[in-house]
Amino acid sequence: MLPNDPISRVLYIDLTKKTSQVVDRSDLFEAYIGGAGVAAQLLLEECPPGIDAFDPRNPIILAVGPLVGNLPLASKTVAMFKSPHTGNLGESHAGGRSAVAIRMAGYGAIVIKGASETPLWVSIDGDEVHLRDATTLWGLSNTVTGRVVRENEGGAGLRTILRIGRAGEQMLPYANVMCETYRHFGRIGLGAVFGSKKLKALVVSGKRSLPVADRRAYRQLYDEIYQQATTSKLMKKYHDLGTASNILPLNAIGGLPTRNLQAGRIVNAERISGEAFAEGYLGRRLACTHCPVGCIHIAALREPYENEPYFMRTRMVAYDYEPIFALGSMLGINEPRNLLRLLDRIDDFGLDCMSAGVVLAWATEAVEKGLIPADELDGVSLRWGGYQGYLAAAERLLSQPTPFYQALARGVDYASSVYGGREFALAYGGNEIPGYHTGPAAHLGFLLGARHSHLDNAGYSVDQKEMLKETVPPERLINMLLEEEGARQILSSLVVCFFARNLYDTNMILRSLEQVGMPMTAERLAEIGRDIWRAKYQFKLREGFDLLAQTVPQRIYETDSALGPIDETYMQQAIAYAANLIGELAPAS
Amino acid sequence: MRLSVVDTELCVGCQCCMFACARRSGLGGIASSAITVRSMGGMEKGFKVIVCRACDDPPCARACPTGALTPKPGGGVRLNASKCIGCGRCAQACVLGAVQWDDDVNKPSICIQCGYCVSFCPHGVLAMEDK
């Protein structure tokens, strides 16, 4: 690392004692680069074994990497914590202004421990750390909370504002943390951990310069990366239509989970395609700080009030592939306006929209199959495509008027353990599925991924490339997934956006690391990737993860994937092999 | 030639221009950036892109008590850092807020109208124009 680079400074904040201190952790950044690598070590250090996710000792760790603020597309912050949703490793990534703001404030990582008795927000401006009273913000939506914090803090343009909505306050295990209104630390409940600490918001800002190894070489490298980022086809796809561009291709191959995965295609998919949203609703495009691509797409939802036809309200709603899957096809909604209405509401509550969609889809099928006593529905009609029922049900995930909604608020795993319907409860390790029914690799990927995310190992991509050509033997498939997950640890430790994975190949990563004073060999880099994966799995195993005890939802075998029926024997062979391999690679310590 | 903002509606808020400006020094980060981009108060409303307009009779130079900032022929100002005492009056004098502050050295970051930022705006928000 370079002298005067603040990357190794870790800010520890204790919300119980109301104290903070900065500790130099060069040891961690030198060995694990930053981001996921450093966060995993801090989690192992800070999170006592076996604690409840809402125990005040559960740390919230936010980590960035050395390229942030130096090179484009290094724009992500990695959050780690014990997840209240999976009861295990919690890892969530977000962009927005978060990574650059943390780096410009002069930190490589922030660790928040303890819990406050009264609501507060934490303000970090460079070396200044303030705990502010958030009593008056408790109960307010994400949107209003963001506005109030914005108006009460400095650093406009240079700050990140992370906050929770009511779902986080109520500690729903799939509550998320919103970042700059349109990005999220989604999945597996970081919002609930914020809520358990009475932490309503966190604002971070700063402005500084960063040293580089060789000014001339640095500028050359920058120009090269910038040039590639602004001219590549992949980046153009993300810029033009965003991730929503994947709706039509996934639907065409039958890999778009529809009506709780009773099908892999939705009729009139073109109405909820990236193209349709762009033509009919796109109101603005945004970028994360230091990313020239700008993949964030915001829809303008303009609607008259029911009784005042010339009184309009215009809501701005960020959309992507996953929300369209979860609140669209999964619920049989192919009317974009209804989808946006539902997404807007769920976002404002601060619920993870993917989990919420899968939960509502399971609930609809459970009602259809007569598993739910009518009086527990509280007058709500759940049927495919019926967005008004879904709006009403989403509100009841918070108000929880009956045991049914109380169960739904805990996710499909729990709800199906109470009411039955396990075979169509679409979750892995407690985390509801993402939107890819592309074949066995996608599902094995969700199951094996350290955080049960499709981004852990990109199984969906293996299905569409390798498996499409020929059925890869299960052992080889598992090796491919684990290898990819190891490699991805490097990107998420540099905190380079996964969309830039082709641009930041090994050579480019090594050149970049040289400029931040961390020269190393390709072999060392690969080794670090595996070490990070191993550290994450050690945490998982320590917290009781058992691959062989995981349930694969029966539904995935009933509905043809993009590659045709998924063979249960193949899956079992793959899982048995993976369990052995994980035991060897990440022995329980 | 001076820097101008063509259309803020094209701005996605990536702030690559700010990094470009700061990188002229050869360093990373944004401490010395003379250009700034920030939201209009919520990103859904779009962005302000604040650049120096290279005034003919610049109020920032008039406000400088030490003669560190002097008008340039053709508009804009030049900073003589050795004379600057870091009082910040130049920044207060610019109603656009186009005099940025470099906290690392406690002196203003003054746009020299070089146009380097223009080549790092991916969406054509910035341009150099004849004055």
Residues of chain B contacting A71 with CB distance shorter than 8 Å: 28
Q: Mark yes or no for CB contact A210/B39 under 8 Å.
A: no
CA dihedral over B51, B56, B59, B60, signed as positive or negative? positive
For chain B, say whether A215 makes contact (Cβ under 8 Å).
Answer: yes
Cβ neighbors of A469 (< 8 A, separation 6 or more) are none
Measured distance CA(B114)–CA(B123) in Å, rounded: 19
- The CA distances from residue A451 to A73, A82, A327, A357, in Å, are 23, 11, 22, 19
Residue A73 pLDDT exceeds 80:
yes
Instruction: Give the residue from B8, B10, B11, B14 with the most A CB atoms within 10 Å of its CB, the best one to mutate.
Output: B14
Residues of chain B contacting A216 with CB distance shorter than 8 Å: 26
Q: Mark yes or no for CB contact A69/B15 under 8 Å.
A: no
pLDDT band at B126 (very low <50, low <70, confident <90, very high): very high
Residues of chain A contacting B12 with CB distance shorter than 8 Å: 285-287, 294, 296
Number of domain units in chain B = 2
Calculate the CA A375 to chain-centre distance: 35
Same domain, B45 and B60: no
Nearest residue, CB atoms, B27 vs list A181, A209, A285: A209
Instruction: Note down the domain range covering B120.
Output: 1-51+111-131
- What is the 3 state secondary structure string of A217-256? HHHHHHHHHHHHHHHCHHHHHHHHCHHHHHHHHHHHCCCC
* Residue ranges of chain B whose CB lies within 8 Å of a chain A CB: 12-16, 19, 22-23, 25-32, 36-39, 41-44, 46, 103-104, 120, 122-123
Q: Mark yes or no for CB contact B38/A216 under 8 Å.
A: no
Please state, for a pLDDT cut of 70, what percent of chain A lies above it: 100
Residue type, A260: N
Measured distance CA(A103)–CA(A105) in Å, rounded: 5
Same domain, B29 and B59: no
Please state, for a pLDDT cut of 90, what percent of chain B lies above it: 89
Please state, for a pLDDT cut of 90, what percent of chain A lies above it: 95
The superfamily in CATH containing domain A6-205 is Aldehyde ferredoxin oxidoreductase, N-terminal domain (3.60.9.10)
Predicted local distance difference test score (pLDDT) of residue A589 = 55
Nearest CA-CA partner of A579 in A437, A447, A459: A447
Question: How many other C-beta atoms can be found within 10 angstroms of the C-beta atom of residue B45?
Answer: 11
Q: Mark yes or no for CB contact B15/A209 under 8 Å.
A: no
Predicted local distance difference test score (pLDDT) of residue A310 = 87
Q: What is the pLDDT of residues A169-220, one digit of tens each?
A: 999 999 999 999 899 999 999 999 999 999 999 999 999 999 999 999 999 9
If you measure CA to CA, which chain B residue comes closest to A300? B44
Residue A41 pLDDT exceeds 90:
yes
For residue B131, being part of any structural domain is answered with: yes
Question: How many other C-beta atoms can be found within 10 angstroms of the C-beta atom of residue A310?
Answer: 6
Q: Mark yes or no for CB contact B122/A230 under 8 Å.
A: yes
Q: What is the pLDDT of residues A411-433, one digit of tens each?
A: 999 999 999 999 999 999 999 99
Predicted local distance difference test score (pLDDT) of residue A309 = 80
For residue B7, being part of any structural domain is answered with: yes
Query: Beta strand pairing status for B69-71 and A308-319?
Result: unpaired
- Domain with residue B91: its CATH number is 3.30.70.20
H or E element, residue A548: none
Average pLDDT score over residue span B34-41: 94
For residue B122, being part of any structural domain is answered with: yes
Query: What tokens appear for A146 in the block?
Result: 């963001």
Mean pLDDT score of chain A, rounded to an integer?
A: 96
For residue B102, being part of any structural domain is answered with: no
What angle (nearest 5°) sits at the alpha carbon of residue A570, between those of residues A565 and A573? 160
**CATH 1.10.569.10 residue window(s) in chain A:** 241-419
Q: Is A59 exposed, middle or buried (0-12, 13-18, 19+ CB in 10 A)?
A: buried
Same domain, B15 and B45: yes
Instruction: Give the residue from A163, A208, A302, A313 with the most B CB atoms within 10 Å of its CB, the best one to mutate.
Output: A208
Residue A285 pLDDT exceeds 90:
yes
Q: Mark yes or no for CB contact A219/B26 under 8 Å.
A: yes
Measured distance CA(A162)–CA(A200) in Å, rounded: 8
Q: Mark yes or no for CB contact A292/B39 under 8 Å.
A: no
Average pLDDT score over residue span A399-413: 98
Q: Mark yes or no for CB contact B122/A292 under 8 Å.
A: yes
Cβ neighbors of A231 (< 8 A, separation 6 or more) are none
Predicted local distance difference test score (pLDDT) of residue A23 = 98
Same domain, B62 and B47: no
Residue A51 pLDDT exceeds 60:
yes
Residues of chain A contacting B25 with CB distance shorter than 8 Å: 209
For residue B106, being part of any structural domain is answered with: no
Average pLDDT score over residue span B90-106: 95
Predicted local distance difference test score (pLDDT) of residue A89 = 97
pLDDT band at A108 (very low <50, low <70, confident <90, very high): very high
For residue B105, being part of any structural domain is answered with: no
Average pLDDT score over residue span A432-447: 97
Q: What is the pLDDT of residues A263-283, one digit of tens each?
A: 999 999 999 999 999 999 999
Q: Mark yes or no for CB contact B44/A316 under 8 Å.
A: yes
Q: Is A401 exposed, middle or buried (0-12, 13-18, 19+ CB in 10 A)?
A: middle
Residue A587 pLDDT exceeds 80:
no
Q: Which residue has the tokens 């803020």?
A: B8
Residue type, A167: A
Which residues pair with residue A317 across a beta bridge? A299
Query: Please, which residues 444-463 of chain A have a Cβ atom closer than 8 Å to chain B?
Result: none
Measured distance CA(A421)–CA(B74) in Å, rounded: 76
For chain B, say whether A383 makes contact (Cβ under 8 Å).
Answer: no
**CATH 1.10.599.10 residue window(s) in chain A:** 431-585
Report helix angle A568-585 to A474-494, nearest 10: 50
Measured distance CA(B58)–CA(B53) in Å, rounded: 9
- What is the 3 state secondary structure string of A406-465? HHHCCCHHHHHHHHCCHHHCCEECCEECCCCCCCHHHHHHHHHCCCCCCCCCCHHHHHHH
Q: What is the pLDDT of residues A217-271, one digit of tens each?
A: 999 999 999 999 999 887 788 889 999 999 999 999 999 999 999 999 999 999 9
- The CA distances from residue A134 to A118, A149, A159, A235, A544, in Å, are 8, 10, 19, 40, 36
Higher model confidence: residue A587 or residue A459?
A: A459
Determine whether domain A431-585 maps to CATH 1.10.599.10.
yes
Predicted local distance difference test score (pLDDT) of residue A588 = 61
Q: What is the pLDDT of residues A486-523, one digit of tens each?
A: 999 999 999 999 999 999 999 999 999 999 999 999 99
Predicted local distance difference test score (pLDDT) of residue B87 = 97
If you measure CA to CA, which chain B residue comes closest to A159? B38
Measured distance CA(B13)–CA(B10) in Å, rounded: 9
Class of domain A241-419: mainly alpha
The SS3 call for residue A78 is strand
The distance in angstroms from the start CA to the end CA of chain B is: 6
Burial code (b: 16+ CB inside 10 Å, e: under 16) for A272-294 equals bbbbbbbeebbebbbbbbbbbbb
Closest CA of chain B from A239, distance in Å? 10
Average pLDDT score over residue span B32-61: 94
Strand (E) positions, B13-92?
28-29, 36-39, 47-50, 69-71, 77-79
Residues of chain B contacting A286 with CB distance shorter than 8 Å: 12-13, 43
Q: Mark yes or no for CB contact B103/A208 under 8 Å.
A: yes
Cβ neighbors of A545 (< 8 A, separation 6 or more) are A88, A89, A429, A537
**CATH 3.60.9.10 residue window(s) in chain A:** 6-205
Cβ neighbors of A154 (< 8 A, separation 6 or more) are A125, A205
Burial code (b: 16+ CB inside 10 Å, e: under 16) for A368-385 equals beebbeeebbeebebebb
Residues of chain A contacting B23 with CB distance shorter than 8 Å: 219, 222
Same domain, B88 and B124: no
Same domain, B68 and B44: no
